[in-house]
Amino acid sequence: MEWLNTILQGILLGGLYAMFAAGLSLIFGVMRLVNIAHGDLIVLAAYVALVATQTLGINPIVSLIVVVPVMAAIGYVLQRGLLNRTLGDDLLPPLLVTFGLSVIIQNGLLEIFTADSVKLNAGAVEIQSIAVGGGLALGVLPLIQFALAIAVIGGLQWLFYRTALGRAFRATSDDQSVAQLMGLNNAHVFGLAMALSLAIVAVAGVLLAVRANFDPSMGPARLIFGFEAVIIGGLGSMWGTLAGGIIIGVAQAIGAQIDPGWNLLAGHIAFLIVLAIRPQGLFPKVHG
Partner 1 sequence: MPDPILELRDLDAHYGDFQALFGVSMRVAEGEVVAVIGANGAGKSTLLKCIAGAMPVRHNAIQLYGVSIGGDPAHDVVSRGIALVPEGRRLFPSLSVEENLLIGGQLGRKGPWNLKRVYELFPVLEERRHQPAPSLSGGQQQMVAIGRALMANPRLLLCDEISLGLAPIVIRDIYARIPAIVAEGLSLIIVEQDVVQALKTARYVYCLQEGRVALQGEAKALTREKISAAYFGV
- Residue 163 near partner 1 by CB under 8 A: no
Cβ at position 178, least distance to partner 1 in Å:
5
Cα separation, 222 vs 102, whole angstroms = 12
Cβ at position 144, least distance to partner 1 in Å:
34
Q: How many CB atoms lie within 10 A of CB 255?
A: 22
Cα separation, 19 vs 60, whole angstroms = 17
Cα separation, 191 vs 204, whole angstroms = 20
Which residue of 56, 110, 130, 178 would you call a contact of partner 1, by CB under 8 A?
178
- Residue 179 near partner 1 by CB under 8 A: yes
- Residue 164 near partner 1 by CB under 8 A: yes
Query: Contacts with partner 1: how many residues (CB under 8 A)?
Result: 18
Selected range binding partner 1 among 31-39, 128-136, 165-173, 203-211, rule: CB under 8 A: 165-173
Residue closer to partner 1 by CB (options 127, 182) is 182
Cβ at position 180, least distance to partner 1 in Å:
4
CB 25 within 8 A of CB 197: no
Site string for partner 1, 181-220 (x = CB under 8 A): xxxxxx----------------------------------
Residue closer to partner 1 by CB (options 179, 193) is 179
Q: What are phi and psi of 196, to 5 degrees?
A: -65, -45
CB 193 within 8 A of CB 170: no
- Residue 175 near partner 1 by CB under 8 A: yes
- Residue 180 near partner 1 by CB under 8 A: yes
Cβ at position 29, least distance to partner 1 in Å:
10
Residue closer to partner 1 by CB (options 32, 170) is 170
- Residue 174 near partner 1 by CB under 8 A: yes
Which residue of 33, 42, 168, 202 would you call a contact of partner 1, by CB under 8 A?
168
CB 98 within 8 A of CB 37: yes
Selected range binding partner 1 among 9-17, 111-119, 170-178, 212-220, rule: CB under 8 A: 170-178
Cβ at position 24, least distance to partner 1 in Å:
20
What does the binding site for partner 1 look like in residue numbers (CB under 8 A)? 164, 167-168, 170-171, 173-175, 177-186
